[in-house]
Amino acid sequence: MDILLNIIYLIATITFIVGLKKLGHPETAKKGNLIAASGMGLAILGTIFIHELAVPPLIYILIGLAILIGSIIGWLIAIKVEMTKMPELVSLFNGFGGASAALIGLVEYSKNVSDVTQATTIVAGVIIGAITFSGSLIAWGKLNGSLKSVVKIPFYNPINNLLFIGIIAFAAFMIATGVDSQLLLYALLASGLAYGVLFVLPIGGADMPVVISLLNSLTGIAAAITGILYDNMVMLVGGILVGSAGIILTIAMCKAMNRTLGSVIFGAFGGGEAAVVGNKTLGSIKSTNPSDAAIMMNYASNVVIVPGYGLAVAQAQHVIHELEEMLSKRGVNVKYAIHPVAGRMPGHMNVLLAESNVEYHMLVEMDDINPQFSNTDIVLVVGANDVVNPAAHNDPASPIYGMPILDVENAKHIIVNKRGMNAGYAGIENELFYNSKTSMLFGDAKAALTDLVAELKNM
Amino acid sequence: MTDFLQFIEDNLQITYILILSIFVGIEVIKSIPAVLHTPLMSGANALSGVVIVGAILVMLHADPADYLALALGFVAVVLGVLNVVGGFAVTDRMLQMFKKKK
């Protein structure tokens, strides 16, 4: 019996590696996901049915019920969620995984407390699981807007670091003394939860994807630690794969925003000092209307569309596709310029545009499109702000200084669609709007683009 | 220090697997285009739900009279399954959109 289960775990482990590998290529990604999912299903079924324990039927019923409930809820959420809500969804699911790891530790502690190795893995699982759970929930709240303000706590870093050291010391004490107290374990759980909240709360919205990726990685580590506890290879390898992949992904995202991991965790992006630039006189603003914008675009030969999260919020992905098709039909060369962190997480914009049937080859990545802006007649910026902010190049005081951006100011003319003159997600003023080549097309993205399309139709 | 060395000696296989897995994870992810970062994150997130295996083990090992353990295990299984099923399903939905060609 044991041999069969171990072989199933081995197969599952292989599917995880192959699946993850295939997820890395656009053509094979879907297959990769299915391969990993089937391996996971196999591992779950094997765990339930192949063992030598005499398990009362009641427990089987409970397990079946739990799986049924979890599957139905998970499936419904996955089917119904809007693609714009993807980052918060990943964060929420990730929190559930972390909570699951922490709960396992709570049950297993008293049975294994005498063995130092086992006690260490359990305590570590509880702490990491608790941190990822509360941290992910805070990230979720921040992304969906229910936790809006950036919370500033005085002496934040010392308090946070002290709490972290305290947790480690507390855990070391519990392991060293082998004290069998559920009460202390719950206290440890509570302090882990508190640390998760404190860890994520002061981090600014723009850095949230990095945090989610990091928390994702931590859940993997929690799963791996639980794998050591049970001497279970599929959990160990699966968890470590997610852990190390998550770290690499986190670093890749930091690079795309020209931030270091340390500055994300310890510096509050989009915080107090950032808004200072706003009071400088930056010149005057020119506004335009859909009819003029339509005429300009109709007679242009090269148009680049820069979509941002504002486009998705206004549900204007479909209208922009219509606009792009119409211009293409009239012989205008249209492309989309995709910043690596456009949307709310890397690659998010690609998903959103793919949803509205935009052809994959029309999406051009930043490094490829940047040299082409000087040959571009019109750049249409819709709902994007920080990723086209020249302050990243020329204002060393700006919090986004050094971040790679789309060099739209090199184009002959720039049309920016925005609801109003509010600053972007990172809370920074954008001098692009005051550029003499820029015209502002104020209004809700969907309404403005619909007007634009209507004007084009009449031409 | 000697405790730590003893730990490695006692768990030599696990230590090897641990270190090799770290490198496999890094190598597999290293050259992934930014386009796929969102589905990849979501897929990796679903994989971390492998913790469900541990949650099922908790329930299998639980004493049927230990209601607390059963309740905690039950919640752990529900949350783990949510992570796995929801994660894979939403990743599939996202990738479906990439495939859709007219």
Q: In B, residues 37-76, which contact A (CB 8 Å cutoff)? A: 37-62, 64, 68-70, 72-76
Q: Tell me whether A107 touches chain B (CB under 8 Å).
A: yes
Instruction: Please name which of A104, A170, A91 lies closest in space to residue A133, comparing C-alpha atoms.
Output: A91
B10 touches chain A (CB under 8 A): yes
Q: Closest CB to A244: pick one of B22, B73, B89.
A: B22
Using CA atoms, how far apart are residues A117 and A4, in angstroms rounded to an integer? 27
What are the phi and psi torsion angles at A337 (to 5°)?
-100, 120
Domain that holds residue A10: 1-80
Domain end among A269, A303, A332:
A269
Percent of chain A with pLDDT over 70: 92
Calculate how close chain B gets to A214, using CA atoms only, in Å. Answer: 10
Window 12-31 of A, Cβ < 8 Å to B = 16-17, 19-21, 23-26, 29-30
Do A130 and A221 belong together in one domain? Answer: yes
For A203, the 3-state DSSP assignment is: coil
Q: How far is Cα A45 from Cα A61, in angstroms, rounded to an integer?
A: 14
pLDDT at A67: 96
Domain co-membership, A315 together with A233:
no
Looking at the fold, whether A349 and A256 belong to one and the same domain comes out as no
Residues A184 and A174: beta-carbon distance below 8 Å:
yes
Give the pLDDT confidence score for residue A267 in this predicted structure.
59
> What's the pLDDT at A273?
40
Select the residue of B54, B72, B92 nearest A30 (Cβ to Cβ). B92
Instruction: Return the axis-axis angle of helices B52-61 and A86-112, rounded to nearest 10°.
Output: 30
Residue in chain B closest to A23 (alpha carbons) equals B40
User: What's the CATH code of the domain at A320?
Assistant: 3.40.50.1220
- Digit-coded pLDDT (tens) for A364-382: 888 889 999 999 999 999 9
Strand positions, DSSP E, A142-259 = none
**Is A205 in the B-facing interface, judged by CB distances under 8 Å?**
no
Contact by Cβ (8 Å): A310, A344: no
**Strand A302-307 to A333-338 pairing:** parallel
Q: Is A70 within 8 Å of B35 when comparing Cβ atoms?
A: no
- Final residue of a domain: which of A231, A249, A269? A269
Establish if B12 touches chain A: CB-CB under 8 angstroms. no
Nearest CA of chain B to the CA of A378: how many Å? 25
Tokens of B62: 């639980």
Looking at the fold, whether A103 and A242 belong to one and the same domain comes out as yes
Low-confidence ranges of chain B (pLDDT < 70): 1, 99-102
Q: For chain A, what is the domain count? A: 3
Residues A60 and A2 in one domain: yes
Beta bridge partners of A287: A440
Which amino acid, residue A128? I
CB pairs under 8 A between A and B: 360
A347 plus A450 within the same structural domain: yes
Query: Sheet containing A363-365: which strands, arranged edge to edge?
Result: A363-365, A333-338, A302-307, A378-382, A413-418, A438-442
Structural domain ending residue among the three candidates A37, A59, A80 = A80
Whether A377 is catalytic: no
The whole-number pLDDT of residue A276 equals 41
Please identify which residue in the block is written with the tokens 């009362």: A56
Mean pLDDT of chain A: 86
**Is A173 in the same domain as A251?**
yes
- A282, A264: one domain: no
Q: Do B44 and A74 touch (CB under 8 A)?
A: no
**B51/A355 CB distance under 8 A:** no
10 Å CB burial of residue A228 (0-12, 13-18, 19+) is buried
CA atoms within 13 A of residue A256's CA, in its CB half-sphere: 27
Mark the ranges of chain A whose per-residue pLDDT is less than 70.
1, 148-153, 205, 266-282, 422-427
Q: How far is CA A2 from CA A9, A31, A49, A59, A232, in A?
A: 11, 30, 11, 21, 12
- Global ipTM: 0.92
Does the distance separating the beta carbons of A104 and B51 come in below 8 Å?
A: yes
How many angstroms separate the CA atoms of B70 and A63, rounded? Answer: 10
Contact yes or no for A350 and B69 at CB 8 A: no
Whether residues B60 and A51 touch (CB distance < 8 A) is answered with yes
Same domain (yes/no): A445, A331: yes
Kindly state whether residues A355 and A433 are assigned to the same domain.
Answer: yes
Report whether A308 contacts A383 (CB < 8 A).
yes
Report the pLDDT value the prediction gives residue A278, as an integer from 0 to 100.
44
A184 to chain B, any CB pair closer than 8 A? The answer is no
Same domain assignment for residues A384 and A360:
yes
Q: Where are the alpha helices (DSSP H) in A299-347?
A: 309-313, 317-329
To the nearest whole Å, the CA of B3 is away from the closest chain A CA by: 10
- A231, A367, A377, A386: the active-site residue: A386
Q: CA torsion, points A111, A114, A120, A121, in degrees to nearest 10?
A: -30
Instruction: Kindly state whether residues A285 and A264 are assigned to the same domain.
Output: no
